[in-house]
Structure 1
Amino acid sequence: MLMKGTAGSRALGIMVVSSLASGRRSWPPFADRGFYKRLSRTGAQAGIRVTIFDPLYIDWSRKLVQGYEYDPKQGSWLSVTRPIPPVIFDRCFYSGRSQYVRYARAISRLRRSRCVKALIVGLSGKWQVHQILAKHNLLRPHLPETRLLAHMEQVAEWLDLRGACILKPNAGSHGKKILRVAKLASGGYEVTGRDAMNQHVHAAFDDPASLLKWLERFIGMRRYLIQESLALHTDAGQPYDVRALMQKSGDGRWHLTGMAVRAGRIGSLTSNIHGGGSSYPLTPFLRDLFGEEETESLILKLQDLSQLIPHVIERHTGKLAELGIDFGIDRSGGLWILEVNSKPGRSIFTRLHDIRRSKASVSNLILYARYLSDRQLGGLAR
Structure 2
Amino acid sequence: MLRKDSGSISVKSKWTKTKWLLSDHVLRRFVPETKLFTRSSLNEMTDRYKMVYFKPTNGTGGSGIARILRTSPRKFRVKKDARTFEVSSASALFDQLQKIAGGRSYLLQKGIYLQACRGLPFDLRMTMQKTGGGNWVPSVMFVKLGKPNKVVTNYHQGGKLALVEQTLQRSGYTSTQIDHYKRQLKMLGIQTARRFDRHSVRFKELGLDVALDRNGRLWILEVNTRPNFNALKSLADKSLYRTIVRYGKMYGRTK
Task: Give the alignment's TM-score, normalised by structure 2.
Answer: 0.90
Q: Secondary structure at the match of 1:240?
A: strand
The answer as to 2:132 corresponding to 1:244 is: no
- How much has 1:145 moved relative to structure 2? 0.7
Q: Is the 8 A contact 2:35 2:41 kept in 1?
A: no
Counterpart of 2:54? 167
Answer yes or no: is the 8 Å Cα contact 1:152–1:216 preserved in 2: no
In the alignment, which residue of structure 1 is the partner of 2:109? 227
Query: Aligned partners of 1:264, 1:222: CA distance in 2, in Å?
Result: 26
| Equivalent of residue 5 in structure 2, options 82, 85, 89 | 89
1:363 and 2:227 correspond: no
Contact 1:324 1:341 in 2 (8 A): yes
Tell me the amino acid that sits aligned with residue 337 of structure 1: I
Size of the aligned set, in residue pairs, is 251
Which residue of the partner structure matches residue 323 of structure 1?
206
Residue in 2 that maps onto 1:128: 16
Offset, 1:235: 7.1
Q: How does 1:272-291 map to 2 (within 5 A)?
A: 272-289=154-171, 290-291=173-174
SS of 2:190's equivalent? helix
| Matches of 1:201 and 1:160, distance apart in 2 | 23
Moved beyond 6 Å, runs of 4+: none
TM-score (norm 1): 0.61
Task: Say if 2:53 and 2:68, in contact at 8 Å, map to a contact too.
Answer: yes
Structure 2 Cα separation of the partners of residues 341 and 296 of structure 1: 24
Q: Which has the higher contact order (CA 8 A, sep 6+)?
A: 2
Q: Within 2, Cα distance between the matches of 1:286 and 1:315?
A: 33
CA deviations on 1:274-321 (whole Å, 9 max, x unpaired) are 000011111011122223221121111111111221111111233111
In structure 2, the residue matched to 1:202 is 84
Contact between 1:279 and 1:351, CA under 8 Å: does it hold in 2?
Answer: yes
Q: Secondary structure of 1:365's match?
A: helix
Q: Distance in 2 between matches of 1:318 and 1:124?
A: 17
Could you tell me how far apart the structure 2 residues matched to 1:160 and 1:141 are? 21
Partner amino acid, structure 1, of 2:155: I
Contact 2:74–2:90 (8 Å) recurs in 1: no
Q: Write the distance in 1 (CA, Å) between the matches of 2:115 and 2:61.
A: 18
What does residue range 177-216 of structure 1 map to in structure 2 within 5 Å?
177-185=64-72, 187-194=74-81, 200-216=82-98
> Which structure has the greater CA radius of gyration?
1
Q: Which of residues 177, 191, 196 in structure 2 aligns to 1:308?
A: 191
Q: Residue type matched to 1:258 in 2? A: V
Is the partner of 1:319 in helix, strand or coil? coil
Q: Distance in 2 between matches of 1:212 and 1:187?
A: 13
Distance 1:158 1:346 in 2: 34
2:35 to 129, 133, 147: 147
Q: Match of 2:31, as an amino acid?
A: L
CA distance in 2, matches of 1:368, 1:249: 8
Equivalent residue, structure 2, for 1:267: 149
What is the one-letter code of the residue matched to 1:352? L
Once the two structures are superposed, what CA deviation does each residue of 1:124-144 show, in whole Å capped at 9, x if it has no partner? 411111111111111111010
Query: How large is the Cα RMSD of the aligned pairs?
Result: 2.2
Q: Deviations over 1:115-160 (max 9, x none)?
A: xxxx3221141111111111111111101011112x2342233222
C-alpha contact 2:15 2:36 (8 A) present in aligned 1? yes
Structure 2 distance, partners of 1:208, 1:138, is 35
Q: Which structure 2 residue ranges, 5 or more long, are not aligned?
A: none
Q: Secondary structure at the match of 2:149?
A: coil
**CA displacement 1:222-244 (0-9 Å, x = unmatched):** 11111111111327653211111
Tell whether 2:106 aligns with 1:217.
Answer: no
Distance 1:237 1:251, change over 3 A: same
Deviations, residues 260-284 of structure 1 (Å, cap 9, x unaligned): 1001111322100000001111101
8 A Cα contact 2:193 2:206, kept in partner:
yes
Unmatched 5+ stretches in structure 1: 1-15, 17-87, 91-118, 195-199, 371-382
Report the Cα distance in structure 2 between the residues aligned to 1:237 and 1:147, rounded to whole angstroms.
30
Note closer, same or farther for the CA distance 1:164–1:362 as it changes in structure 2 (3 Å cut): same
Determine what percentage of the aligned residue pairs are the same residue: 27
User: 2 CA distance for matches of 1:204 and 1:163?
Assistant: 14
Q: Which residue of 1 aligns with 2:225?
A: 342
Aligned-pair CA distance for 1:369: 4.0
Q: Which amino acid aligns with 2:89?
A: D
